[in-house]
Amino acid sequence: MRPHTIVIASPHNLRLRDNIAIVTTENSTGQLKGPRGKSVSLRLKCDREFAQDLLQESTRKRLPVVGANYGTAEGTASDMAMDWGTLVPMWFVAKEERVRARTVIVAPSREIPLSRNIAFGMMIGKMAEKSKKRIVFIASADQAHAHQKSGPYGFHRSAAKYDQFVSRAIQRNRIESISRLGKRFVEEAKPDSFWQMAMLAGVTSVVKMQGSLLSYAVPTYYGMLCASFVRA
């Protein structure tokens, strides 16, 4: 069954201090340049209706959210620059979608209590349950970034421990257990994934799903993990 809407949580979109960002533009366009002059580009149509409803409902529940548009209120010039945390996973998804789903881009806040990001995920889950649309949620992020001394964030033994904890949480279908991780431990490991996974934990607390760890590797200074969550 092909989805109608893909809600993707990225660590690299708008970083609104103390607030969760909900992108409400009609389009999102991005490009990534690679070696030898090669590049990939992507233009997504956004589900403005779902984004606006998510903004309205989250505001009503007094969650710290901000709707973000760019350019014009609507039309082709209503176009938010696409970050790499969105473009990379959506590039693979878009290639598989003959009928491309519309997208809603959200970005968590690292400054607010983790419970607020979880509550926002619960809001996504509740809206998905009520919607007639088929909704997919993607938590986009790399894992710990402190695996190598030569990397930009240096080495810390907490990096491997963090990735191991996350991997086991998925294998045991207990993604919500990440809420027990201490702030200092997370800071030492330096992940990008923690806050998006909190949203995922919120979604799965409403929509019961079975998690499966598909792959894990440390190709460079950061860990990379791929998992799927299918409705139970």
CATH code for the domain in which residue 45 is found:
3.40.830.10
Residues 96 and 185 in one domain: no
pLDDT at 97 over 80: no
Give the mean pLDDT of 175-196: 97
What does the pLDDT read at residue 159?
A: 98
What is the C-alpha to C-alpha distance for residues 186 and 191, in angstroms, rounded to an integer? Answer: 7
Beta strands (DSSP E) in 77-223 are 79-81, 102-107, 135-139, 209-217
| Global confidence as pTM | 0.95
Give the mean pLDDT of 194-202: 98
Query: Domain limits at 92?
Result: 1-140
3: in domain:
yes
Sheet of 39-45, strands arranged across: 39-45, 27-33, 79-81
Average per-residue pLDDT for the chain: 95
Between the CA of residue 106 and those of 13, 135, 183, what are the distances in Å?
Answer: 8, 14, 23
Residues 122 and 77 in one domain: yes
What does the pLDDT read at residue 98?
A: 56
> CA-based angle 52:53:58, to the nearest 5?
100
What is the C-alpha to C-alpha distance for residues 24 and 9, in angstroms, rounded to an integer? Answer: 14
Label residue 99 by pLDDT band (50, 70, 90): low
Q: Show the tokens assigned to 5.
A: 């809407």
What does the pLDDT read at residue 37?
A: 83
Domain count, the chain: 2
Residues 94 and 175 in one domain: no
Give the mean pLDDT of 22-36: 93
61: in domain:
yes
Of 140, 167, 182, which closes a domain? 140
Q: Note whether 118 and 148 are within 8 A (CB).
A: no
What does the pLDDT read at residue 108?
A: 98
The string of pLDDT tens digits covering residues 114-173 is 999 999 999 999 999 999 999 999 999 999 999 999 999 999 999 999 999 999 999 999
Label residue 219 by pLDDT band (50, 70, 90): very high
Residues 135 and 164 in one domain: no
Residues 24 and 132 in one domain: yes
Between 121 and 37, the more confident residue is: 121
196: in domain:
no
Give the mean pLDDT of 176-188: 97
What does the pLDDT read at residue 34?
A: 81
What does the pLDDT read at residue 213?
A: 97
Q: Note whether 189 and 161 are within 8 A (CB).
A: yes
What does the pLDDT read at residue 36?
A: 83
